[in-house]
Amino acid sequence: MADKYANLCLAITGINANDNPGPGMAVIRSLKESFGAGLRIIGLSYEPLEPGIYLRDHVNKTYQIPYPTEGANALLERLTYIHQQEKLDLIIPNFDSELFNFIKIAPQLMQIGIASFLPSHQQLAVRDKVNLKDFGLKHGFYVPADHKLYTIDDIKKAADEFNFPMVIKGKFYEASVVYTMDQAIKAFHQLNAAWGVPVIAQQFIKGTEINIAALGDGKGNNTSIVAMRKLYITDKGKAWAGVTIKDEKFIELGNNFALATGWKGGYEMEIMSNEDGHLYILEINPRFPAWIYLTAAAGQNQPGALVKMALGDIVEPFDDYQAGKLFVRYSWDHVTDISDFQQFSVFGEL
């Protein structure tokens, strides 16, 4: 079996690594652990300062790809060119905002020999922040109440219902806990400028925050579930340290989500366990989280399993993982030459 995967060529997006890191580098780390030194990694980047471009030990070559706003046809054209150069076996996209286009062109990619393992547009929509409350009501999940914000008046209506604190969330990324109307208005304008409307106001739930990384098989089951408790959180709400924990109710919640949606691919559930023990779903991210390497360290290598499933192999569901595995994220200054930056900026390849 190892020979089948000896010389795979995999394309990975999300290779930024700032204070709001993409999952790409952690996915690559997991894949190298799963498939060994013969694995060829092609980075797909939007910006010339994404660190993965210059981390040659991890990424063999990087190509710039068009922003999601340029549409699916531009993406397909670029990926077709990259495939002609590299003979890609599989693509793993890792940003929420790019998934719509990747899902749309997945059949054409498969026709030219590039596999993927992605949810459907319908699955992507049901867990969207603007639809999450309705999804929870339909399927019996605890989900905080929310308001869609288009204007300042909408913020006032949300504040009247929820009081403070409440959570203001961008359509795709970022969230802030706000304690005053001034903070709420400032957060609304920032998130509207970054991601557009609607901005989401969500009821604040006090409790312990748990994240669940899972891999759905597309048939209503999970191949893997690993839960993590955040130990250190950045001002953007991102886990900078966390530890794996085990509790049957987390497994049950993930399995119920997979059953309700038939989810295909990796996903992350952000959960708040309140003082009554209820598990509130704060949001569901439709791809692997940036801490995904922790699943490999705990004994369930989710990116490795996804590759095997995408290439048509049967992967038996994992039945256990190690609790007490701790991760601590850190910053590292990688030094390279300005000529590399110029090369990528001008030609879109490095």
The predicted-structure confidence for 5-22, as pLDDT tens digits, reads as follows 888 999 999 999 777 789
Position 184 pLDDT exceeds 60: yes
Task: Check which CATH number belongs to the domain holding 27 and give it.
Answer: 3.40.50.20
Cα distance between residue 161 and residue 178, in whole Å: 14
Same domain, 57 and 157: no
What CA–CA distances, in Å, run from 81 to 15, 104, 109, 349? 20, 18, 12, 12
Q: What is the mean pLDDT of residues 58-77?
A: 96
Same domain, 62 and 164: no
Rounded to the nearest integer, the mean pLDDT of the chain is 92
Question: Given this model, what pLDDT does residue 129 score?
Answer: 85
Position 2 pLDDT exceeds 60: no
Overall number of domains in the chain:
2
In terms of DSSP H, where are the helices of 1-151? 24-35, 72-86, 99-111, 121-126, 132-139
Task: Check which CATH number belongs to the domain holding 169 and give it.
Answer: 3.30.1490.20
Position 177 pLDDT exceeds 70: yes
Is the dihedral angle over the CA atoms 17, 20, 23, 29 positive or is it negative?
Answer: positive
Residue 227: inside a domain: no
Residue 23: inside a domain: yes
pLDDT-derived band at 170, boundaries 50, 70, 90: confident
Beta strand pairing status for 9-12 and 90-92? parallel
Question: Phi and psi of 336, rounded to 5°?
Answer: -140, -175
Question: Phi and psi of 4, rounded to 5°?
Answer: -60, -30
Question: Given this model, what pLDDT does residue 10 score?
Answer: 98
Cα distance between residue 145 and residue 132, in whole Å: 9
Domain that holds residue 166: 145-203
Position 229 pLDDT exceeds 90: yes
Q: Choose the final residue of a domain: 182, 203, 224.
A: 203
Q: What is the mean pLDDT of residues 115-133?
A: 94
Of 331 and 282, the structure prediction assigns the larger pLDDT to 282
Same domain, 30 and 66: yes
* pLDDT digit string, tens, across residues 126-161: 998 889 999 999 999 999 999 889 988 898 888 888
What CA–CA distances, in Å, run from 106 to 92, 116, 179, 307? 11, 7, 43, 15
What is residue 134's three-state secondary structure? helix
Q: What is the mean pLDDT of residues 240-249?
A: 94
Same domain, 7 and 96: yes
Residue 124: inside a domain: no
Question: Phi and psi of 331, rounded to 5°?
Answer: -100, 150
* pLDDT digit string, tens, across residues 28-42: 999 999 999 889 999
Position 183 pLDDT exceeds 80: yes
Position 1 pLDDT exceeds 70: no
What is residue 233's three-state secondary structure? strand
Residue 251: inside a domain: no
- The pTM assigned to this predicted structure is 0.91
Question: Given this model, what pLDDT does residue 211 score?
Answer: 96
Same domain, 150 and 94: no
Question: Given this model, what pLDDT does residue 70 score?
Answer: 96
Q: What is the mean pLDDT of residues 204-209?
A: 91
Nearest to 40 by CA among 57, 24, 54, 25: 57
* pLDDT digit string, tens, across residues 277-319: 899 999 999 999 999 999 999 999 999 999 999 999 999 999 9
Question: Given this model, what pLDDT does residue 332 score?
Answer: 84
According to DSSP, residue 180 is labeled S
DSSP H or E run through 343: helix 338-347
